[in-house]
Amino acid sequence: MSSHEQQPSTEVARSGTDGRLPERFENPGLAPHRHRLADSDPKVSKRSERQVVVIFLISVLASIAGVVGYFVIPLDEPSILDVRLSTLVIGAGLGLGMLGIGVAAVQWARALMDDAEKVEDRHPMSAGPSVQQQAFEMLRDGGSEANIARRPVLKGAVGGALALAPLAFLVPLIGNLGADWDISKFARTAWRPVRGGDPERYYQGQYRYLAVDPQDRRIKASEITNNNIVHVIPHGLPEEEHYLEEKAKAVVLLVRVDPGLLKESAERADWSYEGIVAYSKICTHVGCPVALYEQQTHHLLCPCHQSTFDITDAAKVVFGPAKRALPQLPIAVDEEGYLYAKADFDEPVGPSYWQRER
């Protein structure tokens, strides 16, 4: 490799595409190299080094904050705020830790590394011993050009940042490996019948009514018109500690189609009411809300990765990455025509996970 400035001398030919004579022009070469202030002024060089060190230190602190956040924010009985805060702190720690390393490396290269312009003549590629020797020499030269040997503080900062950044990712990962996962929370929803429930909220003190979200108003079967889609939740969900999680798990889409179109197994023959069917709104792929309904095909579509479910055929998957049908909620009406859930979903809602069979 040689280090020199390219001279503007060579004439370069360019062929015209329309059959005319080739054009000729002068190779302008590279503009004269302008040295950076940091190359000639030790004070500026020192200031640049301090900048790089500070950015690496920010990376170190962010990584530590991510790890500390993982241990400090309690997730044994977490509220939704705890979960969000934990995700924010770990994510921000991991992100800032990695970003700091990237920004510091760029600033280091811009301000401190050797910036001489170099031209390397092309040569045949070979993996022979001489090439390998060259590669080792280039790596060694690169190391000395990075000027790290004579900058011990910078050396410590980059070492610390590189060593700590992976921790913000690894510690939560390793910490959760032995965690006691309570999967029962996924297996049941607020639709499950209770004993001795409040008659205002439960049909016969046992079965949850379906209610329009967010008004929490009970809904009658007569309000669901053909090909109309309605998003419903369990009526009278108490706004207690896990209200948002319970609501999110239980959200349901109600659709009415011509009853003659429904292909219902003998087991599910009485799970619908006059063509009204109720399916979990949580996609069985990775849990996005299934939100689009095609009236002509009677398909429900998930906007995230286009999984498509046929509601006339037990919400089976007809397209996309989801592997399971949407769980169905068995429904019926009371004496006044209000819809209620006769039982919980027939299987856990949402994406697949281990031990999901009941």
**Of these, 57, 85, 286, 332, which contacts ligand FES (CB under 6 A)?**
286
Q: Is residue 162 a contact residue for ligand FES (CB under 6 A)? A: no
Nearer Cβ to ligand FES, position 211 or 311? 311
Q: Is residue 305 a contact residue for ligand FES (CB under 6 A)? A: yes
Nearer Cβ to ligand FES, position 276 or 302? 302
SS3 call for 333: strand
Nearest Cα to 169, choosing from 92, 277, 274?
92
Nearer Cβ to ligand FES, position 193 or 287? 287
Q: Is residue 288 a contact residue for ligand FES (CB under 6 A)? A: yes
Other Cβ atoms closer than 10 A to 255: 23
Q: Is residue 307 a contact residue for ligand FES (CB under 6 A)? A: yes
Q: Which amino acid is at 309?
A: F
Contact at 8 Å (CB) between 290 and 310? no
Other Cβ atoms closer than 10 A to 70: 20
Contact at 8 Å (CB) between 119 and 4? yes
Q: Where does this chain touch ligand FES (CB under 6 A) — which range of 33-41, 89-97, 180-188, 285-293?
A: 285-293
Per CB under 6 A, which of residues 309..328 are in contact with ligand FES? 320-322
Nearer Cβ to ligand FES, position 189 or 307? 307
Nearest Cα to 299, choosing from 257, 332, 259, 265?
257
Nearer Cβ to ligand FES, position 12 or 292? 292
Nearer Cβ to ligand FES, position 85 or 318? 318
Q: Where does this chain touch ligand FES (CB under 6 A) — which range of 86-94, 140-148, 257-265, 286-294?
A: 286-294
Nearer Cβ to ligand FES, position 235 or 285? 285
SS3 call for 216: coil
Per CB under 6 A, which of residues 26..85 are in contact with ligand FES? none
Contacting residues for 280 by C-beta, under 8 A, at least 6 apart: 251, 252, 253, 326, 327, 328, 329, 345, 349, 350
CB of 317 to ligand FES, least distance (A): 9
Run of H or E including 48: helix 42-72
SS3 call for 207: strand
- Report the C-alpha gap between 220 and 230 in whole angstroms: 12
Q: Is residue 161 a contact residue for ligand FES (CB under 6 A)? A: no
**Of these, 211, 248, 302, 349, which contacts ligand FES (CB under 6 A)?**
302
Q: Is residue 280 a contact residue for ligand FES (CB under 6 A)? A: no
Q: Which amino acid is at 217?
A: R
Cis-peptide, bond into residue 214, ω within 30° of zero: yes
Nearer Cβ to ligand FES, position 160 or 320? 320
CA 7 to each of CA 27, 32, 129: distance values in angstroms, whole numbers, following the listed order: 9, 10, 33
How many chain residues interact with ligand FES (CB under 6 A)?
A: 12
CB of 249 to ligand FES, least distance (A): 15
Contacting residues for 43 by C-beta, under 8 A, at least 6 apart: none
Which residues here bind ligand FES, judged by CB under 6 A? 283, 285-288, 302, 304-305, 307, 320-322
